[in-house]
Amino acid sequence: MLLSYVVSPTIILDVALMAILIIVAFSIVRMRSLFAIVMLQGVYSLVSAAWFVSLDAVDVAFTEAAVGAGVSTVLMLAAMLLANRKSDPVPISKQIAPLLVVLIAGLAMFYAIGDMPAYGDVNSPANTGVGMDYIERTTKEIHIPNVVTAVLASYRGYDTFGEAVVIFSAGLGVLLLLGLNGNAGRWTARPTGRQIYPPIAPSANSRLIASRDNIKLSKGSIIEKPSSVNLRKSKNNRLKDKGNN
Amino acid sequence: MHDPHVILKVISKFLVPFIALFAFYVQFHGDFGPGGGFQAGVILAAAVILYALIFGLDAAKKAFPPSWIRIGMSLGVLLYGGTGVLTWILGGDFLSYGVLAHDPTHGQHYGIIAVELGVLCSVTTVMIAIFYAFGSRQPEVNEDNW
């Protein structure tokens, strides 16, 4: 019994994948080059996607591989271009408090393991109650083989609607804060990092200064005047950028 | 002119349509296999992002114009909510797809397809929007600086 449990190939695979995850996590912590860290985070996501496949959670693995290894790696690269390429080493005196937090949280999690159901336990909350109900009713009520889709789109349609709205508002926030054209040539960043500065005052600042100067003017002129100036300025910069290229 | 990335460009130009096709497979096969709107949307966005990484942001903006983004993300949520409102109008509860067809199971199929299409629209366009917003913020990087 014990022997068959130990040599089960999926268990060996799971342990190997988790060992790789731990190794990758430690190398991320030890590294200073942000480029390597971003790439290793992609590796971490890909390995955990493989682990999810081994746990039969194919839908989650799909999402993890596409979002974690694909899109978020690219976004982190884009963010890295605006910052330094290397992180500064942290002095040991500043590492003690985070280490304590991590140790306490980790020990608390180990303490909680005792209360968790065993892997594949028939009486675990996932295998009793509403989960089994969905599995039974999907074949009768919806007639599709993939229960995950049935739960996601039909039984839990409200939740998924909420998720869609969350994604929509995330996109809305990005569009409002950054805009689709980004800086439109108003900000420059050196690839070596740090030197992110507005060559000419960016729109928010100049508007502030202008409104401070024109504080006694009527409301309309405060808003209209600087914005038209900004438009012209950013256009000029864009032209300048094109000339430089 | 000598192009150092000719292999990358040829291979990814070959791959991008297949990635997009795979995204649609994941979308419309989601009832029968793993996948659905979220996964398909991210894969479709990844195809556009790969294109942007290899051929530059301007080329990607020609292929997938930024004006589509606002339309796509609103259309997605509207399609999802609209399906719910339609079930309301047809006499059911919000998002109870059974009323969409004579046979309740067919109604469930239609409802799931409509809802997943909405999710696909929103996820794809929002992912691309975030990438465009971040990607447009810095100048092109020299080869040596990586």
Sequence ranges of the domains in chain B: 6-139
Query: For B107, which residue in chain A has the nearest alpha carbon?
Result: A142
Name the least confident of A64-78, A169-183, B1-15, B116-130. A169-183
SS3 category, B32: coil
Average pLDDT of every residue of chain A: 76
pLDDT at B1: 60
Which tokens sit at A73? 């790696």
CB B80 within 8 A of CB A164: yes
pLDDT at B67: 87
pLDDT at B3: 77
A230 versus B132: the higher-pLDDT residue is: B132
* Paired strand residues for A189: A196
- For chain A, give every domain's residue range: 1-88, 117-180, 188-244
Place A159 in a pLDDT band, splitting at 50, 70 and 90. Answer: very high
Question: Cβ–Cβ of A71/B73 closer than 8 Å?
Answer: no
Which tokens sit at A165? 């709205």
Place A2 in a pLDDT band, splitting at 50, 70 and 90. Answer: low
pLDDT value at A148 more than 80: yes
> Rounded to whole angstroms, how far apart are CA atoms B51 and B46?
8
Query: For A154, which residue in chain B has the nearest alpha carbon?
Result: B112
Predicted confidence (pLDDT) per residue in A176-207, tens digit: 887 776 554 445 555 555 444 444 333 333 34
Place A90 in a pLDDT band, splitting at 50, 70 and 90. Answer: confident
Predicted confidence (pLDDT) per residue in A4-13, tens digit: 555 688 888 9
Q: What residues 155-214 of chain A have any CB closer than 8 A to a CB of chain B?
A: 157-158, 160-161, 163-165, 167-168, 170-172, 174-175, 178-184, 187-189, 191-192
pLDDT at A168: 94
Place A24 in a pLDDT band, splitting at 50, 70 and 90. Answer: very high
SS3 category, B120: helix
Q: Which residues of chain B does A35 touch, with a Cβ-Cβ cutoff of 8 Å? A: 146
Predicted confidence (pLDDT) per residue in A92-109, tens digit: 888 899 999 999 999 999
Q: What is the mean pLDDT of residues A74-96?
A: 82
pLDDT at B145: 59
Question: Cβ–Cβ of B97/A82 closer than 8 Å?
Answer: no
Predicted confidence (pLDDT) per residue in B76-95, tens digit: 999 999 999 999 999 888 88
pLDDT at B14: 93
pLDDT at A162: 94
Q: Which residues of chain B does A244 touch, with a Cβ-Cβ cutoff of 8 Å? A: none
pLDDT value at B12 more than 50: yes
Question: Cβ–Cβ of B81/A161 closer than 8 Å?
Answer: yes
Q: What is the mean pLDDT of residues A160-174?
A: 92
Instruction: Compute the half-sphere exposure of residue A35: CA atoms within 13 Å on the CB side of its CA.
Output: 8
Most confident of A84-88, B88-92, B123-127, B141-145: B123-127
Place B74 in a pLDDT band, splitting at 50, 70 and 90. Answer: very high
SS3 category, B124: helix
Place A208 in a pLDDT band, splitting at 50, 70 and 90. Answer: very low
Question: Cβ–Cβ of A189/B139 closer than 8 Å?
Answer: yes
Domain range A1-88, CATH architecture: Up-down Bundle (1.20)
Q: What is the mean pLDDT of residues A167-182?
A: 83
pLDDT at A56: 85
> Rounded to whole angstroms, how far apart are CA atoms B42 and B30?
14
Quote the DSSP letter at residue A191. Answer: T
Residue A239 backbone phi and psi in degrees, to 5 = -60, -45
pLDDT at A6: 58
pLDDT at B104: 87
